[in-house]
Amino acid sequence: MRDRHEQHDEQQAEHDPFHDSEILGGRRVILDDDWTPPHPPARSRNVGFAPAFVTLTTVGLLAGAVYFWRRQRAAAPSSGAPSGDAPTPAPKPSGKGEVPTTAPAVAANDQTPTRLPKVADALRKVAGEVLGRDLTDNELALVLGQAWLETGAGGWWPGALKGSSNLGAMQCTSAEQKAGASQPYYTCVEGSDKHSDGKSYAIKFRYYRDHAGKTALEWSAFNFLSRVKGSLERSDGTPESYAAELKKTRYYEGFGATEEERIAGYASALRTRALQAAKQLGLRITWGARAVAGLVLPLPERLFQVDPCRTVRHLVAA
């Protein structure tokens, strides 16, 4: 005998057309014998913008961290004595400010960067005699930039003045110009210079030589630093202020229609050379970038072109 429940189901099916049905999507659907439930819709493969952004940001931060770590590791001096081919680490810079990381490119045929270390050593050596103290990094960068601008740190002299070690295009005094006299540590040698209007004139410059325990370069550094001492100490430590102070002492004439243009032109060229010197020697300076509209921007290429050893007229106190 069949179960009473089975008989009830058969009777119910005869009177209830929805007996074999299901609720699908809010609607009742009658099920056929071979009916199979539909497959659910495939899940979207779009992972979304936010996860991708987080992934890219993470990768970028990791790459940046590795980059700066490798730069610091490469810049750090190695421990122990340097090997035969390894360069000796530069002395740790002193003073406030930062060592510039960028500077206008130096001309390929300009050998001044190779002379800067010896010139810097000579200036540091005589600073105690002239200033009664050491040069700050700011001051050293300015004076080196000036020597570079004027004479290529003594290396741009042509003809009879070649090898004179004359850093600042220092002229002989008025008395020496007339009498042709010289000092034990330099000789007056005929040369030429230009006025601000471009006209050339003959003038005698100092050709230095070793004397009394000082090298020719040290005597030149001594005279040069003595000449600019007042301007250096009165300036606020920037090329613009230093150039203005030098102009007051008639150190240079400069080029331009007005006094302001002449100072601005000299200051622009001085800034470029001093920045190059600071980068070359690792000097900490406080004026390595310009502030424009609240933003700190790298120093642009210089706009004031100079003619080495033919740019200014120096008036040296007797």
pLDDT at residue 58 in the model: 76
**108-143 residue pLDDT tens:** 889 999 999 999 999 999 999 999 999 999 999 999
- What is the extent of the structural domain holding 224? 112-297
Residue with the two structure tokens 């004139």: 201
| Structure token pair of residue 166 | 């004359």
pLDDT at residue 141 in the model: 97
d(CA 233, CA 161): 30
- What does pLDDT average to over the chain? 75
| Residue 271 belongs to some domain of the structure | yes
| Residue 13 belongs to some domain of the structure | no
Check if the beta carbon of residue 100 is closer than 8 Å to that of residue 276.
Answer: no
Identify the helix (H) or strand (E) that includes residue 202.
Answer: strand 200-208
**217-229 residue pLDDT tens:** 999 999 999 999 9
| Residue 183 belongs to some domain of the structure | yes
d(CA 95, CA 100): 13
Quick one: how many helices (H) and strands (E) in the chain? 8, 6
pLDDT at residue 38 in the model: 55
Tell which residue, 90, 95, 102, has the closest CA to residue 276: 102
Check if the beta carbon of residue 211 is closer than 8 Å to that of residue 185.
Answer: yes
d(CA 139, CA 92): 17
> Which stretches in the chain have pLDDT values below 70?
1-54, 66-96, 179-181, 196, 289-318
**135-160 residue pLDDT tens:** 999 999 999 999 999 999 999 999 99
The total domain count for the chain is 1
Residue with the two structure tokens 């530069």: 90
d(CA 170, CA 159): 16
pLDDT at residue 14 in the model: 54
| Residue 281 belongs to some domain of the structure | yes
pLDDT at residue 87 in the model: 39
| Residue 207 belongs to some domain of the structure | yes
pLDDT at residue 292 in the model: 33
d(CA 173, CA 177): 6
- Residues facing residue 187 across a β-bridge: 207
pLDDT at residue 76 in the model: 43
| Residue 49 belongs to some domain of the structure | no
| Residue 38 belongs to some domain of the structure | no
**82-100 residue pLDDT tens:** 333 333 344 444 456 888 8
Check if the beta carbon of residue 114 is closer than 8 Å to that of residue 213.
Answer: no
Check if the beta carbon of residue 285 is closer than 8 Å to that of residue 141.
Answer: yes
pLDDT at residue 185 in the model: 94
